[in-house]
Amino acid sequence: MERTYKLLGEDVHGWFSLDFTAEQLVQNITLIQNIFSRPSTFDDSLGMYTLDDVVELHPPQIWLNVQYNSFFLEHKLSSEDYILELPKDSLSYISSPEVEFLKSLAGKLKKAKTKLIFRFLNENVEEPSTKKTYGELLKDLKSIKAFAAGILVPKTYIWPLKKDQYLAPSTSLVKDAHALGLEVYASGFANDIVLSYNYSYDPSEEYLQFMDNPDFSVDGVLTDFPSTASGAVACLAHSKGNPLPPPGKDTRPLIITHNGASGVFPGSTDLAYQQAIKDAADIIDCTVQMSKDGTAFCKHSADISSSTTASVAFASKASTVHEIQNKSGIFSFDLSWSEIATLKPSIISPFAQAGMLRNPAAKNAGKLMTLPEFLDLAKASNITGILIEIEHASYLAKRGIGVVEAVSSALTKAGYDKETKQQVFIQSDDSSVLAAFKKFARFRRVLNIEAKISGASKPSVDDIKKYADTPTGRQHHRVCRRTQERVHEPRLRLLR
């Protein structure tokens, strides 16, 4: 039956547990995922558990949250009596946003090992027993210490989020609470909610912000995805500055950038490459594009309309080149380097239509890099090597632009033809381009396979070996074990 009740001062319409017996709920109700963007795989496959059922499972610890004690009391239902009838010390933690409920429990659980945790709601919400807002109670943590062992707060109480979705400086809440002997737990963590841009869509980074920063650490987090939190604690916490083992067959795979750290700064810019080096990438990459006057520079595509401000500055230069792509664009080979150098780079957000933008604060940060500048930066760093990708060489040759010659010359001038410390990968989907670099014995040639594949015959693998050391392909390729064995037999190495 649908009813309307008043909860925390607001009318709430719905189906409420107090209108049914436990037997009715357990025997007739199945559970569904209430966040519809999450998988519905287990909808209607599981029934409801009572707290008694959970206690009988004997888990290592149980955290019980009693959100609406005063509401149930109004209807002559006592959460406190129910808890006190449970086996002794069956609950490790009891949290509640109600002061009087926790105070009453504190007087009756003095010898129990159960920790009482005061849960803060939004700062402007009124706590039912004291009639003070949670914001007011936050300023009087000493009074909380009188009946609770700790506090549970929304994560924004600790790291506030500004309107632009970036973090504001942390508050002193954790330090203040710890100074009083209160434990601090943070709530509101999930992998599939909007995160601060500071985390670059990596939920593990958010956990580390709360548990592994130099100033403080919370005592725990309340999360919808415990595996992510435990993984962050076990594998990532306290690891900053730890040296990685060198890449190798028996240690770990190579970490290769995609246009530098292009999720943090506009791709193929000085800042993107510097960030990638700082983030301990092994190989930084440069996809070489050419200006019409023969300057080689790094950019992910010959069409620079989306990755720079070219669509504003050079709209009249838009054209369609079917050898490159079917849609209209502004191509680097139609502009001089002096024109390209006036442009600002633009960060590319692959899922912008879904509202998922990458680091808007750095939307146009950094500067474009010529190939010689990229090589100088790489030489001065401690990276393992570089990957140079060459596209559309045959089309550029028709226009009198020699990209292979430009790359060969730049690498030779930078001393990479004699380089022994850093590995050089030359990548292309054009076998004639790879053949042109066969004279550089130290370079590894990488064949980029754009077509979707799942297997390779031995003759195909033998043919690849004639001009490439390594094949690579789309990220979603599924390559069977036998194909991997065939690739490795002639000493080819998969680069994926």
What are the extents of the domains in the chain? Answer: 3-236, 270-488
Label residue 484 by pLDDT band (50, 70, 90): very low
| Residue in this structure with the two tokens 């030359």, named with its chain if needed | 426
Mean pLDDT of 74-100: 95
The tokens describing 251, both together, are 């240690």
281-296: per-residue pLDDT in tens? 999 999 999 999 999 9
Name the nearest CA neighbour of 215 among 167, 160, 158, 161: 158
Instruction: Return d(Cα 225, Cα 214) in angstroms, integer.
Output: 25
Tell me what pLDDT residue 320 has.
97
| pLDDT score at 270 | 99
Q: 3-236, what's its fold?
A: TIM Barrel (3.20.20)
- Top pLDDT among 152 and 487 is at 152
Please check whether the two domains, 3-236 and 270-488, share a CATH topology.
yes
| Nearest C-alpha neighbor of 79 from the set 114, 51, 113 | 51
What's domain 270-488's superfamily in CATH? Phosphatidylinositol (PI) phosphodiesterase (3.20.20.190)
Average pLDDT over residues 437-464: 78
Share of the chain above pLDDT 70, in %: 93
Mean pLDDT computed over 442-468:
75
pTM value? Answer: 0.87
CA separation, residue 437 to residues 13, 242, 447, 482, 487 (Å): 72, 37, 12, 29, 21
